Amino acid sequence: MSAEKRIRRALLSVTDKTGLVEFARALADYGVELVSTGGTARTLREAGLGVQDISELTGFPEMLDGRVKTLHPRVHGGLLYIRGNEEHEAAVAAHDIAPIDMVVVNLYAFEKTASQPGVAFGHLIENIDIGGPSMVRSAAKNFQDVAVVTRVSDYPALIEELKNHHGALSRETRWRLARQAFSLTAAYDSAIANTLDQIAARGAEAPAPDAAAAPDLAAFPSTLRINLPLAQALRYGENPHQRAALYADGSGLGIAGANQLQGKELSFNNLVDLEACWELAGEFDEPMVAIIKHTNPCGAATGATILDAYQKALACDPVSAFGSVIGINREVDGAAAEEIAKLFVEAIAAPAFTAEARERFAAKKNLRLVEVHSAPPRPVVKHVSGGLLLQDADTARITESELKVVTWRPPTAEEMRSLLFAWRVCKHVKSNAIVYVRDGQTVGIGAGQMSRVDAARFGAQKAVLPLQGTVAASDAFFPFPDGLEAVASAGATAVIQPGGSVKDQDVIAAADKLGMAMVFTGIRHFRH
């Protein structure tokens, strides 16, 4: 510990009062004078702690519905003056400004307010904190003399340090707290700017006070601001010579917020593959299992149970499934776990695991089990040299009524069910993509080929189950009949594709000649 500073006066003003009383009591035990505002002061008094109102410190009442209470020279002067600086010491003495050695602040919950459906614009604006960020910045700038506490999670460690050092905190601790504080205000300002940018993009620079201010997710901000705290450092990136880290939004949702129940530390590649399998599994309402290898499905199926779906998914390509990552959209039970445990798997993502499943998987010490709760769709960000690309998430769905039958023969009811399943799976296969399906089960998957004909042939070559009587999905249109003919020669009897090629009529004529049913979706699902 070095350059310790004794805490003699602390200003507390928090929205989240978790742990507040315990922390304030620890400060009081070391003779720290407590100064506070509004509801925070009331909470401390109700706990039996002595506290000075901010208005007593400033000699000025809280006013304008609480908008002005800490914006005062006796607050910011007490935070910002450099102890031991003769000019500063003379100035604060002349104006009777007392030192403030610690600020305990967390901010109005702007993001929580902004996320509420139909929140009124006026209410949103009122939840922009002004005094809090100002105090946080003042205290953090003068960290040599002042400690700024912005995280409830820091309270226990600070209490322990105060206990071990007789009410003092080290320079190292104050420096760490200051960095956290500036990260907080940066993220807070970004959240405000992004939200207001989205509102302005709808064409209303100043909505009426009671107007709904829910962000228009179709409009992109004029400036892209990304502020995510470090969740964990990873051992390495895609390859051992690359460094990597995970940043999370703190929601506890999605893969970044998953709860790892067992197994080795998740790797960069594990996380990327888990995202791919979780997205695919989440496309379906019925029990579904997606087996992923290098972000592409090597097997996907629905079933009456998770065990049934897993067995069907595995049957598609049991060789590639070795060392895979699996996504499951239901709680994993003991019967499914018993079967899955027979295969070497890197990681499994599911919303829950029964006690029997966890007991069965416990013997596989390196297997990562992660509990995941779905996150709302977010825009997709990709890096290019010199900048970033931003696009909406691909959430498009197609129903049977939206399909256009273009051949003389319409699909049978069984073919139609398989076509809709194939289309959802194909969306998650790298372009160019062809997926062969039968009755809720992938049979062959051709992924990431430069030629659509090669994708059709490769998917057929990979098949270990019979292809005769399958249906096929293509993520983009067939530019020529040759791709369709390759699908037909493999044994498919019906095809789903976007349509839109200048050669559509030639492709339709080829399908009619082959006796195939074909439907157009009108949308494509490129995945690069």
* 3-state DSSP assignment of residue 144: coil
b/e sequence 105-131, b meaning 16+ C-beta within 10 Å: bbbbebbebbeeeebbbeebbbbbbeb
C-beta separation of 370 from 258 below 8 A:
yes
- The residues pairing with 444 across neighbouring beta strands, listed in sequence order, are 436
439: left (phi over 0), alpha (psi -120 to 50) or beta: left
Between helix 504-514 and helix 481-490 the angle, nearest 10°, is 20
Token couple for 71: 């914006």
Residues 6+ apart with CB under 8 A from 48: none
Catalytic residue among 141, 165, 364, 503: 141
Catalytic residue among 165, 294, 364, 503: 294
Cα distance between residue 112 and residue 250, in whole Å: 12
42-45 long-range contacts, Cβ below 8 Å, gap at least 24? 43/17, 44/12, 44/20
Residues 6+ apart with CB under 8 A from 284: 302, 329, 424
Q: In terms of Cα–Cα distance, which of 325, 295, 320 is closest to 527? A: 295
- The residues pairing with 234 across neighbouring beta strands, listed in sequence order, are 244
Residues 6+ apart with CB under 8 A from 249: 228, 256, 257
Three-class SS of 185-245: HHHHHHHHHHHHHHHHHCCCCCCCCCCECCCCCCCCCCCCCCCCCEEEEECCCCCCCCCEE
Cα distance between residue 499 and residue 336, in whole Å: 39
Residues 6+ apart with CB under 8 A from 199: 121, 207, 213, 215, 216
Active site residue 294: yes
Active site residue 166: no
Q: In terms of Cα–Cα distance, which of 453, 474, 455, 484 is closest to 526? A: 474
What are the catalytic residues? 141, 294
